[in-house]
Amino acid sequence: MTLPETFQILIITLSDRASRGEYEDKSGPFIQEQIKFFFIKIKRKFQIDVEIIPDNAKILKSLLLKAKEKYNIIFTTGGTGIGPRDITPDVVMPMLDKEIPGIMELIRVKFGQDKPNALLSRSIAGIIGISLIYTLPGSVKAVKEYLGEIFKTLEHLIYMQYNIDVHK
């Protein structure tokens, strides 16, 4: 397998208010900005698409069913808590072909030591179709913390996903 010439990346913001235009999405644009920095740093071409949807399981599942065969990486933001409208991990988990639990466990433990509320996140990571998928919380501060850890392993994970041996 060879790496894609251009990585296709999808960012999905789950927010009832942002999807209705009542609230400005801040975490989605922050993810987009950080992804640009990351892919420029690793010298890879990329294309980013953005979706803002309500906290709705049917809409998310439908979007992911289409996205999992088109996008190399999917980031969701929002819906990872325990509130009644927080459905992201509940939709994504049964769709995973492979879960990658270590990264989210590390993030919860690392940040939960100083901020116990970080332990309440239900964020997950894995592979769905051809896509790596990361479900991130909705706050910019949490997204910054998560991406700081995710980016440490993302390039290696991409090589693993495409069966490219970099263990020399």
At 41-86, the pLDDT tens digits run: 999 999 999 999 999 999 999 999 999 999 999 999 999 999 999 9
Q: Which domains does the chain have, with CATH numbers?
A: 6-161 (3.40.980.10)
* Predicted local distance difference test score (pLDDT) of residue 1: 76
pTM, rounded to two decimals: 0.96
* Predicted local distance difference test score (pLDDT) of residue 138: 95
Q: Quick one: tokens of 127?
A: 């592979």
Please calculate the CA angle 48-67-24 and round it to the nearest 5 degrees: 50
Name the band, by pLDDT with cuts 50, 70 and 90, for residue 108.
Answer: very high
* Predicted local distance difference test score (pLDDT) of residue 56: 97
Return d(Cα 23, Cα 17) in angstroms, integer. Answer: 5
Assess whether pLDDT exceeds 80 at residue 168. Answer: no
Pairing mode, if any, of strands 6-14 and 73-77? parallel
